[in-house]
């Protein structure tokens, strides 16, 4: 829905040397802005100095100031930084400039200047270390030592500039072996095995047995049986529990055989011993023998883990065993039993037991919510799902005059979407709930689809459905769902779930753009579908090309799985091979809702539920599409 506006670069080249003395219009300001950036890039500083005063009224002038200030950090003064942050207190780069200047002062070894400049503890870890070290150098030693301890206690790697702070802490006796063990504990909880091994090597010789044992644990979880023989302490018990979980994942039967001796050697209490049992019980959820299943169920009856108990409920559901389902639903904690999914299945069991009135009462209550289960409950009752839509007040004119909003608008014009999102989130985060709702509405009206969604997420505006589900890139979805079996609403639901309408979205594994395409998937789809004009993965951030390829791939998995959105959505998220395996495991025992609820991956389970619900929302908002039931007749009647 956001317009793609490409500045007229050729025109700028002609005009940049003949701009009038003062630019009144936004268009003229943009020409000057491009001109000054070009001059900067070509190191024409005389032209930069000539143009800068003419841009003071342009919304992005603060960004030019920031560039000017950071051009040569060695020349920057605290007065310049303070003046900039005082003039632009709400500019995201104001905080960035402060932190950069702290690093610069540290680089200059100007410790007195640093503590004078930074009167409060900065947020970034690296800047914190510089701040505390400056306090050490200027005589505020207790502040420095207390700060060193607070920074040290992290399960993650820390910046290199923290080393000098830790050195003085160690020299004063603060960085004791116990402190090293504390951090190892945090690294174990974070699963940071490389950090555990690194820290273990820092332990002194008298800790060699623990040190060697920890290093062995990271290489071979089975060594936990030997490690457990070390004299028990709170630390060794925690390390043993953490390693035992890895051992159970690798060899559950062997772990079970060693459980009693490990727990006894480490003098574990009942709660700690239960954690070992839980680790094994998780591994006995698949093809467990009768004896393993009995052991597992005995263990789960004693656990405090709600997640593990819910996993057991899903196992009963996946086995289509109503008696077992009833038993384990009852064994959920009271609060967990009130979740929509478990209320739904309680209603189904009541209905099967002949108590339709009680079942209908529960289902009716579920329909008052929003999302997958309220929609499923309405369909089960044979009634339409009623969407409750909260509407924000129409944005007042003051929003348009806010400096932050004007900067967002210009950043989007220049296709600096990442900076625009940072500006927008910084603004929304500072506003009260009612104003957040107005900002969401304003973004919707401007065609800033992802920013509308971002505001609703930040403000938890879950019933502001129009702002949560903008009709973005409609013409592209119209065009690229033509002659395909997928509907426009379904394709849009996938895109909304994948990227929240951020065309620049990129996942940690490389999925890119509106429909979060993996490069290999995109290349394969292009070849299979005969799509032209695609040559590199950089094109995946182009909304039009991303939608063209994404809808082609979605249509292919939709057809591969018999035009079933449950299976196609799961395949889009987790891959077709996994879906085929899940279908093989369920063996036609399950109805549609049970299959969705028993998808093994929590992410994929939530993904499928969201997409099906989002499809209904988009059917409602798209002209010409009357919302149907959340499950199509074929999806509902199929056995999975």
The residues annotated as belonging to the active site are 498
How far is 69 from 109, CA to CA, in rounded Å? 20
Q: Is 516 helix (H, G, I), strand (E, B) or coil?
A: coil
Query: In Å, how far are 88, 452, 478, 627, 629 from 624, measured between CA atoms?
Result: 47, 24, 12, 10, 16
Q: Give yes or no for a contact between 165 and 114, defined as CB atoms under 8 angstroms apart.
A: no
How far is 162 from 126, CA to CA, in rounded Å? 7
Long-range contacts of 627-630 (CB under 8 A, 24+ apart): 627/384, 627/385, 627/387, 629/375, 629/378, 629/379, 629/385, 630/372, 630/375, 630/376, 630/378, 630/379, 630/385
DSSP string, 535-587: --GGGGGSHHHHHHHHHHHHHHHHHHTTT-HHHHHHHHHH-HHHHHHHHHHHT
DSSP string, 401-415: H-HHHHHHHHHHHTT
Query: In Å, how far are 22, 61, 369 from 52, measured between CA atoms?
Result: 11, 8, 54
Q: Is 310 helix (H, G, I), strand (E, B) or coil?
A: helix
Q: Is 71 helix (H, G, I), strand (E, B) or coil?
A: coil
DSSP string, 143-205: HHHHHHHHHH--SS---GGGHHHHHHHHHTT-S-HHHHHHHHHHHHHHT-HHHHHHHHTTS-G
Sort 259 into a burial class: Cβ within 10 Å, 0-12 / 13-18 / 19+. Answer: buried
Residue matched to tokens 């559950």: 252
* Beta pairing partners, 517: 512
Query: Closest Cα partner for 616 from 637, 599, 635?
Result: 635
Specify whether the backbone of 25 is left (phi greater than 0), alpha (psi in -120 to 50) or beta.
beta
How far is 26 from 545, CA to CA, in rounded Å? 30
| Cα dihedral 63→67→73→76 (10° resolution) | -60
Cα end-to-end distance, the chain, whole Å: 37
Q: Is 59 helix (H, G, I), strand (E, B) or coil?
A: coil
Show Cβ contacts of residue 76 under 8 Å, excluding neighbours closer than 6 positions.
Answer: 69, 70, 101, 104
Query: In Å, how far are 352, 590, 594 from 586, measured between CA atoms?
Result: 21, 7, 10
How far is 461 from 436, CA to CA, in rounded Å? 9
Q: Give yes or no for a contact between 166 and 148, defined as CB atoms under 8 angstroms apart.
A: yes
Residue matched to tokens 């929240």: 500
Residue matched to tokens 């003085």: 168
Angle between helices 208-219 and 193-200 (to 10 degrees): 160
Q: Give yes or no for a contact between 582 and 352, defined as CB atoms under 8 angstroms apart.
A: no
C-alpha 521 chain-centroid distance: 22
């Amino acid at each position: 829905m956001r317009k793609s506006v490409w500045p007229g670069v050729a025109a700028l080249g002609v005009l940049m040397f003949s701009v009038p003395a003062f630019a009144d219009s936004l268009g003229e300001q943009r020409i000057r802005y491009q001109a000054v950036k070009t001059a900067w890039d070509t190191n024409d500083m005389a032209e930069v100095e000539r143009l800068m005063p003419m841009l003071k009224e342009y919304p992005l002038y603060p960004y030019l100031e920031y560039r000017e200030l950071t051009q040569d950090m060695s020349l920057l003064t605290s007065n310049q930084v303070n003046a900039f942050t005082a003039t632009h207190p709400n500019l995201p780069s104001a905080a960035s400039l402060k932190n950069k200047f702290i690093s610069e002062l540290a680089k200059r070894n100007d410790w007195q200047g640093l503590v004078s400049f930074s009167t409060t503890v900065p947020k970034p870890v690296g800047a914190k270390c510089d701040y505390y070290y400056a306090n050490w150098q200027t005589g505020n030693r207790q502040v420095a030592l207390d700060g060193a301890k607070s920074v040290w206690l992290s399960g993650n790697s820390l910046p290199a500039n923290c080393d000098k702070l830790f050195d003085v802490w160690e020299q004063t006796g603060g960085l004791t072996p116990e402190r090293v063990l504390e951090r190892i504990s945090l690294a174990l909880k974070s699963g940071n095995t490389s950090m555990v091994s690194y820290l273990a090597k820092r332990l002194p010789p008298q800790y060699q047995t623990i040190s060697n044992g920890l290093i062995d644990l990271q290489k071979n979880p089975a060594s936990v049986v030997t490690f457990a023989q070390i004299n028990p302490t709170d630390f060794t018990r925690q390390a043993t529990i953490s390693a035992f979980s890895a051992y159970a994942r690798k060899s559950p039967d062997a772990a079970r055989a060693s459980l009693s001796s490990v727990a006894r050697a480490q003098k574990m209490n009942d709660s700690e011993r239960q954690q070992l049992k839980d680790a094994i019980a998780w591994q006995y959820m698949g093809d467990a023998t009768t004896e393993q299943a009995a052991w597992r169920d005995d263990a789960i009856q004693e656990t405090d883990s709600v997640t593990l108990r819910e996993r057991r409920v899903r196992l009963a559901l996946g086995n289509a065993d109503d008696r077992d389902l009833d038993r384990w639903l009852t064994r959920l904690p009271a609060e967990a039993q009130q979740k929509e999914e478990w209320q739904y299945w309680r209603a189904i069991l009541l209905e099967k037991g002949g108590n339709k009135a009680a079942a209908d009462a529960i289902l009716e209550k579920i329909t008052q919510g929003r999302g997958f289960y309220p929609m499923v409950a309405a369909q089960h009752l044979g009634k339409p799902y009623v969407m409750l839509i909260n509407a924000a007040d129409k944005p007042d004119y003051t929003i348009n005059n806010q400096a932050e909003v004007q900067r967002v608008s210009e950043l989007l014009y220049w296709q600096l979407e990442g900076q625009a999102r940072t500006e927008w989130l910084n603004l929304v985060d500072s506003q009260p709930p009612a104003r957040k709702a107005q900002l969401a509405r304003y973004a919707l009206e401007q065609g800033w689809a992802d920013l509308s969604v971002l505001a609703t997420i930040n403000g938890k505006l879950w019933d502001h459905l129009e702002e949560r589900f903008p009709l973005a890139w409609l013409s592209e979805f119209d065009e690229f769902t033509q002659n395909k079996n997928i509907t426009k609403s379904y394709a849009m639901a996938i895109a909304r779930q994948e990227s929240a309408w951020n065309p620049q979205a990129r996942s940690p594994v490389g999925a890119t753009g509106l429909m979060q395409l993996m490069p290999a998937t995109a290349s394969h789809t292009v070849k299979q579908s005969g799509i032209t004009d695609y040559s590199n993965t950089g094109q995946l951030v182009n909304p039009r090309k991303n939608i063209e390829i994404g809808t082609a791939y979605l249509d292919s998995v939709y057809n591969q799985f018999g035009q079933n959105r449950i299976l196609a959505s799961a395949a889009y998220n987790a891959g077709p091979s996994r879906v085929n395996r899940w279908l093989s495991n369920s063996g036609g025992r399950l109805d549609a809702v049970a299959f969705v609820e028993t998808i093994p991956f929590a992410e994929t389970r939530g993904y499928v539920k969201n997409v099906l619900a989002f499809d209904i929302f988009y059917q409602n908002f798209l002209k010409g599409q009357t919302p149907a039931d959340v499950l199509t007749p074929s999806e509902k009647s199929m056995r999975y």
